[in-house]
Amino acid sequence: MTSPKLRRRNILFAGAATSLATALPVWATTPPYPSNVIRLISPYPPGGTSSAILNRLAERLQSTSPLRVIVDYKTGAGGNIGVDAVLKAPPDGYTIGFTAMNSFAINPHLTKNLPYNAEHDVQFITLLGAVPNVIAVNPSVNARDLRELIALSKTTDLSFASPGIGTSVHLAGEMLMNDAGLKMSHIPYRGESPALQDVLGGRVQVMFANLTGVIEYLRSGRLRGIAVTSSKRSSIVPDLPTVSESGVPGFDVKGYFVLFTSKGVPEPVLDILQREINKVLSGAEFRTAMSQIGLEVIGGARQDVTALVNTESARWAKVVKRTGVTWD
C-alpha cells in the first residue's frame, strides 16, 4: 500500500511534468525534424521551367540531406491559390512554397482582395535565384535590336504578349514603353505557354518573358532576341545586349524566385530548412544545371530575402500606380 507521503510526491511530480510539457514549445514535444515528407508547393503548372527547377532541387535534397521533398502543384488565380495553400498549412515546416517574387512584391499592389497578407503571413526561407527577362520577337518582325524595334513601333501597330496582367514581365514592358518611347499594345495570357504559342505562330509580334522559358526557342531561331532586361548580359546568351546598352540607361529588371513557408514555423526548423537548401544551392552540380536554363542561383539568409522583397515592393508600387494596372 502506497504511503500518503509517497502519493503526495507522485502527485507533485506528475503536476510538475504536466507543467513542463505545457511550457515546452510544440517542436520540442514532437519527433525530431524532419520526420515526415515535406510538400514543396508550386503555384505554376507542371511541365515548365519551374518544374525543371523544383524537380532538380527535390532530387538533390533527397540525395544530400535529411529532407525528403515531393513537389505538389496548386495552380490558379495568378499563383495566389498555391501561395495561400502554403500559408494556410500548419506551421510545422512540412509545407513549403516556391513562387516568383511577384506574389509578395507586386500582387499586394494590384488588389485589395488577396487571400493572404504578404507582410504578416509569410516567412521566407531563402532566395532561390534570379533570371533576366528577355524581349523576343517573331522572326518575321523587321527589327534586330531595340532601336529598330522602337522605330518600327512608330510606323507599325505592334502588340506584346505576357503571361498575365501585373506579372513582372508585363510591368517590365510597361516600364520600357514609358522609358524608351516604345509603342505597343499589351495582350495578356493565362500563363507563359499560350503567350509563347501565339508569338511563335506570328499572331503577336513581341513577347516579354523569363529567359528560362524561351531560351530553347532563341537557340533554335524560332524567336529572335532583342535584349535582356537585366543590368548585365546573360552568360547563356552573351551576344544579346541589355536594354541599358541599347539606349535606355539604368534599366534593370529581373525575375526573382523565393522559397517560403508560413509564419509560426519554429526557428530551429527554419534553420534546418535554410541550411540544407542552401547547401544544395551552393553545390556545383545544381548551379551548373540551373545555368543551362538561364537561372542565376543565389541562396542566402532569410533576412536578405525580406530586405529584397521590401525593395522590390517599393519599386513596383510606383509602376503599378503610374500605369493604373489593377486586378480589381
pLDDT single digits (tens) 135-166? 999 999 999 999 999 999 999 999 999 988 99
Match 511550457 to its residue by C-alpha cell.
Answer: 23
For residue range 174-184, what is the model confidence (pLDDT) as tens digits?
Answer: 999 999 999 99
pTM of the predicted model as reported, rounded to 2 decimal places: 0.85
- In the chain, list all ranges with CATH 3.40.190.10: 132-228
What whole-number distance in Å separates Cα of residue 322 and Cα of residue 224? Answer: 30
Residue 316, pLDDT > 60, answer: yes
Residue 7 has pLDDT above 60, yes or no: no
The x, y and z cell numbers of residue 72, run together, are: 505538389
Domain with CATH 3.40.190.150 in the chain: 29-131+255-323
Mean pLDDT score of the chain: 90
Task: Name 187's bridge partners.
Answer: 161
Closest of 40, 113, 87, 81 to residue 280, by C-alpha: 40
pLDDT by residue (tens digit) across 222-259?
999 999 999 999 988 999 999 999 999 999 999 999 99
Helix, strand or coil for residue 170?
helix
Distance between CA atoms of residues 298 and 128, nearest Å: 6
**CA distance to 98, 187, 206, per residue, from 146 (Å):** 33, 20, 12
Can you point out the beta strands (E) in the chain? Answer: 38-42, 69-73, 95-100, 122-137, 159-162, 185-188, 206-210, 224-228, 254-262, 296-297
Of 84, 83, 89, 75, nearest in space to 101 by CA: 83
Pairing of strands 254-262, 159-162: unpaired
| pLDDT, position 13 | 44
CATH topology of domain 29-131+255-323: D-Maltodextrin-Binding Protein; domain 2 (3.40.190)
136 contacts 207 by C-beta, under 8 angstroms: yes
Which class in CATH covers the domain with range 132-228? alpha beta
Mean pLDDT of 284-307: 94
Instruction: With beta carbons less than 8 A apart as the criterion, state whether 171 and 106 touch.
Output: yes
Query: To the nearest 10°, the Cα dihedral for 101, 106, 108, 112?
Result: -140
The stretch 73-84 carries a mean pLDDT of 90
Q: What is the pLDDT of residue 258?
A: 98
